[in-house]
Every structure is written in structure tokens, then in C-alpha cells.
Homo-oligomer: A and B are copies of this chain.
Amino acid sequence: RERYEQLSPSEFFYRNREVAGFSNPTRAVYQAVRELVENALDATEMYGLLPDVKIEVGEEADGRVRICVEDNGVGVSALEVPNVFGRVFYGSKYVLRQARGVFGLGVKMAVLYAQLTTGQPVRIRTATRKSPFIYEFDVLIDVERNLPVIRNLRVLRNVDGWHGTRVELLLRGNWQQARRRVEEYIRRTAMITPYATITFRCPQSSLTFERSSSKLPPAPAVGKPHPKGVDVEMLRRMVERCRRGATLAKFLSTHFDGVGPITAQKFCEWAGFDPNMEVKELRVEDLEELAAKMQAYGGWRRPRPITLSPLGEELLIRGVKSVLKPEFATAVTRPPSSYAGHPFIVEVAIAYGGEVPPAEEPILYRFANRIPLLYDEGVDVAKKVVRKIDWSVYKVKMPAPLAVVTHICSTKVPFKGVGKEAVADVPEVERELEMGLRECARRLRRHLSRLERMMEVKRW
């Protein structure tokens, strides 16, 4: 008598689109734009290409909003276009490496929102590098089955050797309200991507951020999991895929980041496991014990940051100066740290005076994996840390012209939700943010003391 139902992933997010940030007609427009822009930047900078990203928003009759984002990235192979744009939980970023994308959901949410407000497909135009053809597809999502539906496939000769992707959506939303947020999002993105040329056009305004640097930060590499982040399911799968005869020590030293034969031996002795045992003989209870001991062992090498790509202090200061135009700016890139086996790096910058507007609290600009976060400041770990600081200790008296910029990059930023707006207060991350912020605050204090002394000298 009880009626049970199975929902496909697309059906689930169709019904619960607000948990992915599509909570109202204003926020949905903002989210659609950002999902496309984040994909465009990933598709360029992660492949050694200096990004050229064009964003166009048009207002049509009857409240329709046309959103178009084009990039000069790696493009999407024709065979993959349907799933990439039309199947929830499909993507190429499910590996251990810092990227803006992480869920395999973003562009599908934008396609879904357009489809449920206008019924219109997303229009894709794409070519991979050196492809002799450019492909144009219209894609709809069969929501109940989480499958792509292709319309109007066209193949054109790629005479100019173009490569990249152009994504065009037609949706209904509140562009009037969303515009300011979208402009701010683009402005802040440009602040930390000086190697990208970003142009934005809409009926009311137009912004152009020309590339001010041709130096692309080195792309991060894919890494292996760190032993501190294991769980029983992960071990069970890894062991299942091992060949017969593999020893426990060999298993550990081949599957995990920073574990060599010697470390594997030492761990086994500490944990009370025989390093030469056949790893496939471990039973479930042994895997549980192994996981717990791997999490607890203090002798692992720290996660290596080869999977990360921090902005660096120079880039951060330059971005802060160009956008906020302060009288004083400083930045700190903390050494690599980790939580639950995930490496992360925290970067903090402070801007003071000049054109920074005075306020009762410091103005906070938050970034994570190079994405500007504009919503949910109230539950973000960066806000929590900024509130902890007693600024009078650093000679700053409120109201003050003070801005704080935070950037967290990780193979897994602890986002609180799939809408990627706030970062959870993981203790290790909180601690790193505080250390970075206090270091910047000390430098500000030295600067303000110096100013004070200069003022006194003048008076004599």
C-alpha cells in the first residue's frame, strides 16, 4: 500500500534545485553564469592555455535571459558532449587534483534550469585542439532517466583551427537583480586570474579585463590518496583490484601518496600487521583496523602539494592592488597543510587605506580553488576567523578602511553544499587561516606604526 519511488540523479536535482544554488530566479541566473565561467577557466588554465573567456548576457522579450559563455579551451570531444552536458554526475574532474569543478553537476544544473523555465535545449559549439571539425549540438536532459537528448547536430569544417567551447542557454530569471552579483563575481575572478582576458557584455554594461600577465601558474598534477584519508570502502576496492601475491607493504607503497617501502615497513611494525602478508587475505574486520591505524599513525610524510596550484603572494598582492587600490597591501601564502589526507594551502591578503571604503568590520573577499564566493558569508570559516581577530591589537580602530582576502586551495575544499558558497570550519583550515591573517595583520601594524612615527616626525 505504501508507494515507493526511485529518483534518477537529474530528477533529484530537478526537484531539489535549491540545494545546488538555484533557489530563486535571481540566484539561478547568477549560478548559471558562474557554473559556465568556472568550466571555461578550468578548460583553459588546467591545460596550459591562457584563458580568453567571453560572457554575454542578453535580455529577450518576455523575461527570457540568454546566457552565452565562450572559451578557447581544450573543447569537448563530440562523443562526450551528450553526457558532459546532459547527464548528472558525469565529468572529468573526479580525480585528486585541484580544480574549480568537483561534482560533475554544475553545467547540468544550468541546462536543467533553462529547460524547466523555457523548455529550450542548451546550444553547444565545440572543437578540440587540432580537430578538423567544429561540432554544434542542442542538448536536452531526459530528466526522469538522467540521459541526454540530442537535437540539431551539425558538423562544420574548422577552417580557422579554432579550439574551445561555446555554451548558450535560454532561461527565465531576474537579470535586473542578478546583474550586480554577476558583475562582482566577474570582477573578483579577474582579480585573481591576471593571466586571463575576460570580457563581459550585457544590455546595461560592459566590462573588459585584459590579461596583464602571460605567465600561467603551473597546472597541478593528479595525485594518489594520502593514507590519513583512507576508509574501509576505499581499501576494500583497492585490495579487490590488486593482483594475487601482492604484499601489504607493496600495496601501501604503491597506492598511497608519500609512502615508500621503508615507511610501509615501519607502519606495519607499528600497527601490528605482517608487511609480507598477502593483502588479499585481509578480512573486513582487518580492513577496519588497518584503516583506523592508517588514520592514527603519526609517521606518514605530509601530503605533497603537487596536486595544488596556489596563487602565490605576488599575484595576490597585484590583484588586490589593481582592484581595491589600497594604500597598503600584503599577502601570505602558508606552507602546505592537510586535513583528512587532503592537502591544502591557505593564502591571505590584507588591503588598507587608499580607495578601500571604511567600515565597522573588515570587508571580506573569499576564494576557494580560485572561485569567488559571494553568498553565505555567515557560515564560512573565513568569516569566523576574521571575527575572532581583535584588530585594535594591530593598531586598527573601527571603522577602518580594511579589506581581507582569503584563498583556500585543496584537492577537496570542504564546501558546505553543492552550490559551492561557503567553506566548512574544518579545524586545520581554520588554524591556517588564522595564522595567515595574523601574519598579514602584524605587517599592517608595522606599516601603521611607521606611519605614526612619520606623522610625529612631521610635527616636530
Contacts and interface: CB of A to CB of B under 8 A. Distances in A.
A117 B232 contact: yes
A118 interface: yes
Q: What copy number does this chain have within its complex?
A: 2
A3 B92 contact: yes
A12 interface: yes
A118 B6 contact: no
A219 to B, nearest CB: 14
B231 A117 contact: yes
Contact of A18 (B9, B118, B120, B424): B424
Interface residues of A, number: 66
A220 interface: no
A426 to B, nearest CB: 8
B16 A103 contact: yes
Interface string A1-42: 011111111011011101100011000000000000000000
Interface in A68-98: 74, 77, 80, 83-84, 87, 89-92, 94-95
B92 A5 contact: yes
A222 to B, nearest CB: 10
B19 A87 contact: no
A187 interface: no
A287 interface: yes
A7 B146 CA distance: 12
Interface of A: 2-9, 11-12, 14-16, 18-19, 23-24, 62-63, 74, 77, 80, 83-84, 87, 89-92, 94-95, 103-104, 115-120, 143-144, 172, 231-234, 236-237, 284-285, 287-289, 291-292, 376, 378-379, 414-418, 422, 424, 426
